[in-house]
Amino acid sequence: MTSVASKPQSSANGTAEEERRGLLGRTLRAQGAQIVLVLAVIVVIFAVLAPSKFLTPFNIRTTIQDTSILAVLGVGMTFVIVTGGIDLSVGSVLVFSGVIADKVMAAMGDQGWGVSIVGIIVGCLCGLGWGLLNGVLVAKAKVPPLIVTLGTLGMALGFSQIITGGVDLRDVPDVLANSVFSEIGGQLPTLTLIALVVVVIGAIILHRTRFGLYTYAVGSNAEAGRRTGVRVQRQLIKVYALAGLTAGLAGVLNLAFFDSTTIGGQSETNLNVIAGVVIGGTSLFGGAGTIFGTVIGLFIPSVLQNGFVILGVQSFWQQVVVGAVLIAAVYLDQYRRSAALHGSSVQFPFLSRFGSGSRKVTPR
Amino acid sequence: MTLLQAKGLAKQYGHVQALAGADFEVDAGEVVALIGDNGAGKSTLVRMLSGSEQPDSGEILLEGKRTRLASPAAARDLGIETVFQDLALAPHLDPVQNMYLGREIMKPGLWGKLGFMDTRAMRAGSREAFDKLGATVGNLTGSVGAMSGGQKQGVAVARAAAWVNKVIFLDEPTAALGVVQTRNVLDLIRRVSSEGIGVVFISHSMPHVMEVADRIQVMRQGRRVAVYNATDTNMEELVGAMTGAVEQEAS
């Protein structure tokens, strides 16, 4: 009703305008390149300031390893944000999945692979369950994603604390902890290899399959998707379920890597992941974004943190710089978007009722 | 035979009676123009007939059989396509992805089952459809959002024309277009109808209506108030019917 009732403004189209828009399109596509450039500049600066310490194999390995769990979460988060949604619950779901996996493995009381595999599956299923709950509430009950996932953030963390009494559990079978902590060929951490596999699979699904296409379509113009036969609600549920699944897997990895459920240590995980996804060029308005950008976007805070520590700068500065980069990234996205829409007012879709951009002004 | 018919459709939004027992017919191979003042119920009628919304009462008959158009997808499965005023395009996707959205060609065999699409086939199909329309969609890989109004309209119209096999609805298809593109759309309307498709278009442009329509149906206050053959009416009569100065059918 809303969209059809409005009259189309006639957009006169001279050749100059066409050219400008072509240029805009090209810049948009080059956005992935920009963020790589930012990361490269940061790396070069640190490499010059601390030549003997920064670009060492050990330091590179540590940085990559520290980013691995965030990257797993970032894959699911990218899908969610591409739909125009948000998932604040990932950190708590990670903890919850770790707690349940730990409890199950402890109850089985064995140190072998059998118990470990059960633990991995249970952890992933816990994440999937929370993701499905998020998805159903967003898609069917039409509660804004911000509120739904803020609610499940509290619930998942609360349940974790109820189950554990607030005391971290440490019942990871040795084989699981050792293998996640080990390094393949002495250089590539297993944790990173797992994250890399998740990233590659995520990128293929998002960029090469119909599932990925529908994810973009829902974020771009959900109403158009609905009218052309895309099952918008079902797609949203699947996307939130996927984000939950990656959070569940991250929970198991986190548990195995730290040999702890880290109940108190994940309060900012969601925001760090969202920051990485957004810095990586995924639009909070939905419809645009890449997994590759997310990975780069997650590395920027990690590298800054690492570099500041090496340089002896108070590492609190990292938060300041990341905050500024985040705002700049969103400003650029907003600028690009409003330019593409002829300056129509912008509205964050995850605050709207449908949470999938269905109320957005359809650009013409 | 009447291809698509509506009898006594009514729809109320809150206190607003958008449709108050509207009738409608279109035959195969016929071009019907739907005209009326703003708020006369043209767009609402099209939304009922394209499955976007459900009427409160009244019935819809497709080829003489009573039909329920539960959703746009259901209407499309029956061969009814619609170009909405807002075009219903996903701005971040490219023309090919928009063209095939919801109807992707999948790769054969296992790859297709895993969700991989046959982009080459879809690109070829899109190219053919755009050429047929004479749409100036040069870049098939750029996002639709970055295109001009005319190009977007071209994509939306070509999409509907490529899939339709019974009735096509065009809600203000020329409103955002330049002279050449308007000519293309009017030609397209003629071409599509010559293939036995029923074409229904809403327009405020009387010259376009007079030029391309076989029949002209006038709406006012949620009802059909008059139907004319394009050959034996004139502008004054149409405007008279729209404003209520002339009344042909008993309301």
Query: What pLDDT sits at residue A160?
Result: 96
Residue A349 confidence class, pLDDT cut points 50, 70, 90: low
Residues in chain B: 251
Q: How distant is the Cα of B77 from the closest Cα of chain A, in angstroms?
A: 10
Q: If you count residue pairs, one on A and one on B, with CB atoms under 8 Å apart, how many are there?
A: 134
pLDDT of B105 over the 60 cut: yes
Residues A352 and A346: their CA atoms lie apart, in Å, by 12
CA torsion angle for A327, A329, A68, A40 (degrees, to 10)? -120
Q: Which of B72, B143, B146 comes nearest A227 by C-beta?
A: B72
Query: What pLDDT sits at residue A252?
Result: 96
Q: Do A217 and B115 touch (CB under 8 A)?
A: no
Mutate to test the interface with A, among B12, B44, B86 (most CBs of A within 10 A): B86
B77 touches B164 (CB < 8 A): no
Rounded to two decimals, what is the model's pTM? 0.84
Residue A360 confidence class, pLDDT cut points 50, 70, 90: very low
Cα A88 to chain centroid distance, Å, stands at 10
Q: Give the residue, A286 or B84, on which the prediction is more confident.
A: A286
CA atoms within 13 A on the CB side of B75: 27
Q: Give the residue, B121 or B132, on which the prediction is more confident.
A: B121
Residues of B in contact with A211 (CB under 8 A): 115
Q: For A224-257, give the DSSP string.
A: HHHHTT--HHHHHHHHHHHHHHHHHHHHHHHHHH
Q: Which of A10, A12, A211 comes nearest B115 by C-beta?
A: A211
Query: What pLDDT sits at residue A351?
Result: 53
Q: Do B90 and A287 touch (CB under 8 A)?
A: yes
- The reply to whether B90 touches chain A by the CB within 8 Å rule is yes
Q: Do B146 and A25 touch (CB under 8 A)?
A: yes
What is the per-residue pLDDT across B229-250, written as a single tens digit (0 to 9) for each? 988 888 888 888 888 876 666 4
Tokens of A174: 């040795």
SS3 category, A184 = strand
Residues B189 and B161: their CA atoms lie apart, in Å, by 9
For chain B positions 121-150, those within 8 Å of chain A (CB to CB) are 139, 142-143, 145-150
Give the list of residues 6+ apart from residue A114 with CB closer than 8 angstroms, or none.
Answer: A108
- Per DSSP, A260 falls in state S
Tokens of A280: 């990586």
Which residue in A has a C-alpha nearest to residue B97's C-alpha? A213
Q: Do A9 and B47 touch (CB under 8 A)?
A: no
How far are the Cα atoms of A72, A105, A173 from residue A248, in angstroms, in the given order?
10, 15, 18
Query: What pLDDT sits at residue A184?
Result: 80
3-state SS, one letter per residue, for chain B: CEEEEEEEEEEEECCEEEEEEEEEEEECCCEEEEEECCCCCHHHHHHHHCCCCCCCEEEEEECCEEECCCCHHHHHHCCEEEECCCCCCCCCCCHHHHHCCCCCCECCHHHHHCCEECHHHHHHHHHHHHHHHCCCCCCCCCCHHHCCHHHHHHHHHHHHHHHCCCEEEEECCCCCCCHHHHHHHHHHHHHHHHCCCEEEEECCCHHHHHHHCCEEEEEECCEEEEEEEHHHCCHHHHHHHHHCCCCCCCC
Q: Do A4 and B176 touch (CB under 8 A)?
A: no
What is the per-residue pLDDT across A181-207, written as a single tens digit (0 to 9) for each? 888 877 789 999 999 999 999 999 999
- Per DSSP, A264 falls in state G
What is the per-residue pLDDT across A76-110, written as a single tens digit (0 to 9) for each? 999 999 999 999 999 999 999 999 999 999 999 88
Residue A348 confidence class, pLDDT cut points 50, 70, 90: low
Q: How distant is the Cα of B232 from the closest Cα of chain A, in angstroms?
A: 30
Query: What's the whole-number mean pLDDT along residues B171-183?
Result: 80
Instruction: Select the highest-mean-pLDDT range: A134-143, A262-271, A328-337, B134-143.
Output: A134-143
CA atoms within 13 A on the CB side of A29: 12
Residues of A in contact with B106 (CB under 8 A): 210
Query: What pLDDT sits at residue A276?
Result: 95
Mutate to test the interface with B, among A3, A7, A13, A83 (most CBs of B within 10 A): A13
Query: What pLDDT sits at residue B167?
Result: 94
Cα-only R_g, chain A: 21
For chain B positions 29-58, those within 8 Å of chain A (CB to CB) are 43, 47, 52-53
Give the list of residues 6+ apart from residue B80 with CB closer than 8 angstroms, or none.
Answer: B4, B49, B50, B51, B62, B69, B164, B166, B167, B168, B169
Query: What pLDDT sits at residue A181?
Result: 84
% of chain A surpassing 90 pLDDT: 64
Query: What pLDDT sits at residue A210?
Result: 96
Q: Give the residue, A122 or B1, on which the prediction is more confident.
A: A122
Residues of B in contact with A229 (CB under 8 A): 72-73, 76, 101-103
What is the per-residue pLDDT across A2-37, written as a single tens digit (0 to 9) for each? 333 333 333 333 334 444 444 444 444 555 677 888
SS3 category, A165 = coil
ipTM: 0.83
